[in-house]
């Protein structure tokens, strides 16, 4: 698959310098300008914001469910989390259009004296964070539950409080697994297309704040592939976008795997 995508993108790589493709912000296919910087930055902004929101909320939820929640509460929340994981992304996109976009436009942006349509990075980040919640919560919960009960009891027996036990014993033991959960969530967020496409604005310029519209790489491919193929190099440019997305995800996962190995050695 990698070789096939690379072969399809080789035409544009042979006609334009790689530095121009990666660092130019000019996207004018009709004029032959294919600068991918707006799409790279849009992807980083939306995915980064989503993970900043999702990771602490998901981790705290997992800690509550595993260490503090009553069995009855747990039996209610866990099926809801499983249900959220199975909802199609287009439904999340509609939720974003109907609720999050108007909320940003009418309530959040005016607090900062900013005028926006609501279709922006913040909307995409919030929708994406909600989509990532189930996988982060589920995996983190399972990892925390694997910590032996004896370790908790030993800590409590030494006079530690429940929170001190969670913080210094449970979380330390579960940390490599939680990192793995974050990696999986990041990979899911990085490649998500439909829901983000519906709320992020899809404007090909480098964003400067969370209230600016953006154009992530997956949205670029989904919006344009199959259209305007009569423009020279357009098909190859979109294949290069797919190749770029694949390389970024693979590089991130390799780096994360290295971190996990280092953590396992330390712990």
Where do the structural domains in the chain lie, given as residue ranges?
A: 33-266
Report whether 11 contacts 229 (CB < 8 A). no
Instruction: Please tell me the predicted confidence (pLDDT) of residue 123.
Output: 96
Instruction: Please tell me the predicted confidence (pLDDT) of residue 227.
Output: 66
Residue whose entry in the numeric block shows the structure tokens 């969670």: 166
Q: Does domain 33-266 have CATH number 1.10.3720.10?
A: yes
Report whether 59 contacts 136 (CB < 8 A). yes
Instruction: Please tell me the predicted confidence (pLDDT) of residue 153.
Output: 87
4 membership: H or E segment, kind and range: helix 2-15
Report whether 257 contacts 239 (CB < 8 A). no
Q: How high is the mean pLDDT in each 10-residue block of the chain (267 residues)?
A: 79 86 88 89 93 94 92 89 88 95 95 92 95 91 90 87 89 86 82 86 92 92 74 83 87 77 65
Instruction: Please tell me the predicted confidence (pLDDT) of residue 228.
Output: 61
Residue 35: phi, psi to the nearest 5? -90, 120
Report whether 67 contacts 162 (CB < 8 A). yes
Instruction: Please tell me the predicted confidence (pLDDT) of residue 132.
Output: 92
Exposure letters 19-42 (e unless 16+ CB within 10 A, then b): eebeebeebebeeeebbbbbbbbb
The set of residues, in sequence order, having a beta carbon less than 8 Å from that of 15 and lying 6+ positions away, is 233
């Amino acid at each position: 698959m990698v070789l096939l995508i690379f072969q399809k993108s080789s035409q544009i790589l042979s006609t334009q310098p790689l530095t121009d493709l990666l660092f130019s912000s000019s996207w004018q296919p009709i004029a032959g300008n294919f600068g991918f910087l707006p799409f790279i930055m849009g992807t980083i902004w939306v995915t980064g914001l989503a993970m900043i929101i999702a990771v602490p909320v998901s981790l705290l939820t997992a800690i509550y469910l595993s260490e503090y929640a009553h069995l009855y509460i747990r039996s209610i929340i866990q099926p809801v989390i499983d249900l959220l994981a199975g909802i199609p992304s287009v439904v999340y996109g509609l939720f974003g259009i109907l609720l999050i976009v108007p909320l940003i436009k009418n309530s959040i942006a005016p607090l900062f004296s900013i005028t926006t349509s609501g279709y922006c990075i913040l909307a995409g980040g919030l929708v994406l964070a909600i989509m990532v919640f189930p996988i982060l919560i589920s995996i983190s919960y399972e990892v925390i539950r694997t910590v032996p009960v004896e370790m908790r009891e030993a800590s409590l027996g030494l006079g530690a409080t429940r929170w001190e036990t969670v913080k210094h014993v449970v979380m330390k033991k579960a940390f490599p697994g939680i990192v793995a959960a974050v990696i999986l969530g990041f990979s899911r967020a990085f490649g998500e297309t439909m829901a983000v496409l519906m709320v992020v604005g899809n404007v090909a310029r480098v964003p400067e704040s969370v209230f600016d519209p953006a154009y992530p790489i997956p949205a670029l491919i989904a919006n344009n592939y199959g259209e305007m193929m009569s423009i020279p190099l357009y098909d190859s440019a979109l294949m290069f976008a797919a190749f770029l997305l694949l390389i970024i995800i693979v590089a991130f996962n390799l780096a994360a795997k290295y971190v996990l190995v280092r953590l396992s050695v330390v712990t």
